[in-house]
Structure 1
Amino acid sequence: MKLTKYAHACVALEKDGSRILLDPGTLTPDTQDAVAGAAAVLITHEHFDHFDHALLASALDADPELRVFGPRAVLDKLGSHAGRVRVLAAGDTLGIAGFTVAVHGGRHATIHADIPCVDNLGYLIDEAVFHPGDAYFVPEAPVATLLLPTSGPWTKLGEAADYLRAVEPRQAIQIHELMLSDLGQASTRTILAGLTGIELTLLPPGRNIDL
């Protein structure tokens, strides 16, 4: 399986000629190219940096084979598109374009008591790659590759370290990085490695890695 990193929380996974995309949001400048050719899009939650609903509405109109999956808010904003937009919930499992997807989580991490906490789903792909969205949710399953959020109004470095320790992945790849400078990303990587013994891979947007 090949993982391609896009800016912020968006990644693509490819294998055997099939491609799925996770969390194309408005902070990812090349989401239109990222969505093109994808068999399906998985959305963890409704926030704009993970879910560009205008882009996906246009993509669904342009590609009659494209399918979109996510929490209820995704269907509410996109409409059903003849059943091609489907609501998922924690505990669901399904096959998408040759990939297996197990759904975990439930709620977004707390930002502040005055900010509503929305539904947030984590996706374990092929029993190997876990995208947690905006939460440090620990799935009750082994994780080989953890996509680790490193910046945002809800994140905290100490909690990220505890999360790595709890999940115990073979490797971790940074996502959700746009609020960190290059120096901040390097510092975060060094601190997390020192606390957990797990190296954090920093992939620039557009780069890929074989998993």
Structure 2
Amino acid sequence: MTTITAWGHACLSFDRDDHRLVIDPGTFSDLGVLDTAEAILITHDHVDHLAVDPVAAAVAERDDLRLWGPRSVVEQVVEAGAPAARVHQVGAGDDWVAAGYSVRAIGHDHREIHADLPVPENVGYLIDDVAFHPGDALTEPGVPVELLFVPVAAPWLKLGEAIDYVRAVRPRLAVPIHDAILSEAGKGLSDRMVGGLGGAGEYRRLEVGDTLDLG
């Protein structure tokens, strides 16, 4: 049994048999999650997904902690002091094991924010072939997934796109993420829209500290 915990915005932990895998510990999240992490996955280098200095310090201080991410993430974390031997560059199609979980990197581009801004590299992560975190993209995993983490608020996103994303992936369970810029009223609206129109078997919001068990 895997227990998934929300740590704010796009940050989640996966816990099983005393192993903890963490995705996207950024500046909008509770970075206490790093204290017990065994593996960190970073989708891209924006600050709301990667708190560079705290993450680099955690990797530097603990011999058992490893990090995976695209090239720009690796460069920034190593420059901030993380040992290069514990930081691994990944891209679309790569498969590996982290903290006892099978991981596959899917996708390679961040969603466009504006035509005047560069499009950074972004990889989504498929965990144990059942849960998919897309980062800042609406990448379809290409395989059936039980659990989809759905971005619901961002400068690069409109709510109709989130609805269509859930419809395209068709997960059993959809969990909204990437919502730190929303008020409580905004969260309620996004839940009604994406939960009501997306068509997932179940839609469930996880507030910070909330958990769900994935069997």
Give the TM interval when normalised to the shorter protein: over 0.9
Deviations 1:148-171 (A, max 9, x none): 111110111111111001100000
Aligned partner of residue 58 in structure 1, secondary structure: helix
Output aligned runs, 1:82-93, within 5 Å.
Answer: 82-93=84-95
Aligned to 1:168: 170
Shift, 1:196, TM fit? 2.6
Aligned partner of residue 19 in structure 1, secondary structure: strand
Deviations 1:152-210 (A, max 9, x none): 10111111111001100000111101111111111111112332333431111011111
CA RMSD of aligned residues (A): 1.1
Shift, 1:144, TM fit? 0.5
Shift, 1:82, TM fit? 4.2
Q: How far apart in 1 are the matches of 2:101 and 2:199? A: 30
Name which of 181, 200, 203 aligns with 1:200. 203
User: 5+ residue gaps in structure 2?
Assistant: none
State whether residues 126 and 132 of structure 2, in contact with CA within 8 Å, keep that contact through their aligned partners in structure 1: yes
Aligned to 2:56: 57
Paired residue type of 1:121: V
Aligned partner of residue 100 in structure 1, secondary structure: strand
Paired residue type of 1:11: L
Paired residue type of 2:25: P
Aligned to 1:131: 133
Shift, 1:107, TM fit? 0.3
4+ long deviations beyond 4 Å: none
Shift, 1:7, TM fit? 1.0
Q: How far apart in 2 are the matches of 1:6 and 1:82? A: 26
Aligned partner of residue 122 in structure 2, secondary structure: strand
Give TM-score, length-normalised by structure 1.
0.96
Aligned partner of residue 85 in structure 2, secondary structure: coil
User: 5+ residue gaps in structure 1?
Assistant: none
Aligned to 1:36: 35
After superposition, the Cα gap between the structure-2 partners of 1:93 and 1:27, relative to the gap in structure 1 and judged at 3 Å, is: same
Give TM-score, length-normalised by structure 2.
0.94
Aligned to 2:114: 112
Paired residue type of 1:124: L
After superposition, the Cα gap between the structure-2 partners of 1:153 and 1:82, relative to the gap in structure 1 and judged at 3 Å, is: closer
Q: Percent identity?
A: 43
